[in-house]
Amino acid sequence: MLRSIVIRIVNSPVLFFGTFFLFRACLWIPIERLWRAKSISYRQVATRDFAAQLFHVFFVVPVVLYMYDRLFAYSEFSKEIAKFPMLARIAVYFLISDFSYYWAHRLMHTRPFWRTHQWHHSPTYMYWLAGCRATVPHQFLVTGSYVLAAPILNPSRWWVYTMLVIFSYLDVDWMHLNVPWGGRVLEWFFVTPRFHHIHHSCDPKHYNANMGNVFTFWDRLFGTFIDPATINEKEMAFGINESVSPVRLIAGL
């Protein structure tokens, strides 16, 4: 009975989004109220961020997946790959996709591609829904990191991909969470809110820092790491420090 309900929700984009969004709100809002890093009025920002989330889920993602389906030929790995344990394949998938994401992210911070990513950096605040802004070109570059690594998981049960989608959204929420959480031991390996907040700083010294998505060791390896313990987040401001047309921001052009 429970399994059939879960499958029905997963197979309906509207049901899945609605149920999952409610779960995310119930998870993150109490945490932010108890341990918030900075004061923020949900009433002032939540409406436009929710609209951005709807735009992302029901327009950007379908368009990008359609483009990939038409532009890339998917080739499964040999049957020998399927003999490896699923957990091992998931671990390899995370390493490869996160490594690819890191370089796609760095690419978006270069002058020719900055406009594709500018909308994501436009909020002047951080909280769990602040990371949902993604233009079609932005998402196309980012999704490539995951779609092109996906054959590592073939074949797998339906729930594997579902859990990866859930993890992806929770990971974005976590990075932008309005809490001062972190720790040097944890940050040797994993991205924390205070680690990623530096990346959204409007200080030019931070523009190209802390670009990792799940793992922090890419930043350490390739020279883009700034230790969050050396930054006073209460004095840090967010945003892009420039006036840009909303239409151009959302289009990423």
User: What's residue 233's pLDDT?
Assistant: 80
Look at residue 81 in the predicted model and tell me its pLDDT: 72
Q: Is 191 exposed, middle or buried (0-12, 13-18, 19+ CB in 10 A)?
A: buried
Q: What is the pLDDT of residue 5?
A: 43
Output the tens digit of pLDDT for each of the chain's 253 residues: 444 544 554 567 778 888 999 999 999 999 999 999 998 888 888 898 999 898 888 887 787 777 666 655 455 555 667 778 888 889 999 999 999 999 999 999 999 999 999 999 999 999 999 998 888 889 888 887 887 777 788 777 778 888 888 999 999 999 999 999 988 899 999 999 999 999 999 998 999 999 999 999 999 999 999 999 998 888 889 998 877 788 888 888 8
Rounded distance between C-alpha atoms, residue 251 and residue 108, angstroms: 14
Q: Per this entry, what is the length of the chain?
A: 253
Token representation of residue 47: 């409406």
DSSP class of residue 207 equals T
Is the pTM value of this prediction over 0.75? yes
* Other Cβ atoms closer than 10 A to 210: 25
Residue 105 near residue 211, CB atoms below 8 Å: yes
Domain residue spans of the chain: 13-251
3-state secondary structure 139-181: HHHHHHHHHCCHHHHCCCCHHHHHHHHHHHHHHHHHHHCCCCC
The reported pLDDT for the residue numbered 1 is 45
Cα distances from 20 to residues 8, 14, 17, 222, in angstroms, run 13, 10, 5, 35
Give the DSSP per-residue string, 79-128.
TTGGGS-HHHHHHHHHHHHHHHHHHHHHHHTSGGGHHHHHHHH--SS-ST
List, for residues 162-207, the tens digit of each pLDDT value: 888 899 999 999 999 999 998 889 999 999 999 999 999 999 899 9
pLDDT value, residue 73: 46
Q: What pLDDT, on the 0 to 100 scale, is given for residue 74?
A: 53
Three-state DSSP state, 182: coil
- 151-187 exposure pattern, b = at least 16 Cβ within 10 A, e = fewer: ebbeebeeeeebebebebbbebbbbbbbbbebeeeeb
Asked if 97 contacts 149 with a C-beta cutoff of 8 angstroms, the reply is yes
